[in-house]
Amino acid sequence: MIIYGLPLQSYIGVSYPPANVTAFQAQAENGGILLTWNDPEDTVINNATLAIWVGTKVVRKLGGYPTTENDGVLVVDNTIRGKYKINGFYDEEAVSGFTYYYQAFPYTGNGSVNRYEQNRVKIEVE
């Protein structure tokens, strides 16, 4: 079995990150920014659990996307899967005239963090 271009055996003993969040969106609302996303499921391939999702940190930054979970302002550290899928998380720190860059960082209990660019969204607040 091939995962991200490498055979499954390549990941044995390796700390494998959770999958990407899905449907990550940002919209300006009532002077703030409403963020919605769906947290990933655990990664299980051929009955082998490669990654167990424990939480998702969302980080905000001005001027460009965060590159790590410590590169910007932590707006939420969610540990309840699917909590912000429907009603979202409201970031009330937004100020008009700025572009905000957000990245979601799903993580496991053993310290593995997903830092893939697919977990990004940006929004201009007018």
How many distinct structural domains can be found in the chain?
1
CB 17 within 8 A of CB 113: yes
The whole-number pLDDT of residue 96 equals 85
Is pLDDT above 80 for 60? yes
CB 64 within 8 A of CB 101: yes
**CA–CA separation, 120 vs 105, rounded Å?**
9
| % pLDDT > 90, the chain | 71
Q: How confident is the model at residue 9 (pLDDT cuts 50, 70, 90)?
A: low
Report d(CA 24, CA 38) in Å as an integer: 7
Position 126 scores a pLDDT of: 83
Find the CATH number of the domain harbouring 23. 2.60.40.10
- In Å, what is the CA distance from 62 to each residue of 13, 81, 100, 108? 37, 27, 5, 27
Please list, in sequence order, all residues whose beta carbon lies within 8 angstroms of the beta carbon of residue 123, skipping any fewer than 6 positions away.
26, 27, 28, 33, 99, 100, 102
73: confidence class by pLDDT, cuts 50, 70, 90: very high
Domain of residue 70 covers: 2-125
Strand segments, DSSP code E, in 8-119 are: 22-29, 32-38, 43-45, 48-51, 53-62, 73-78, 89-91, 98-108
In whole numbers, what is the pLDDT of the chain averaged over residues? 90
pTM for the model stands at: 0.87
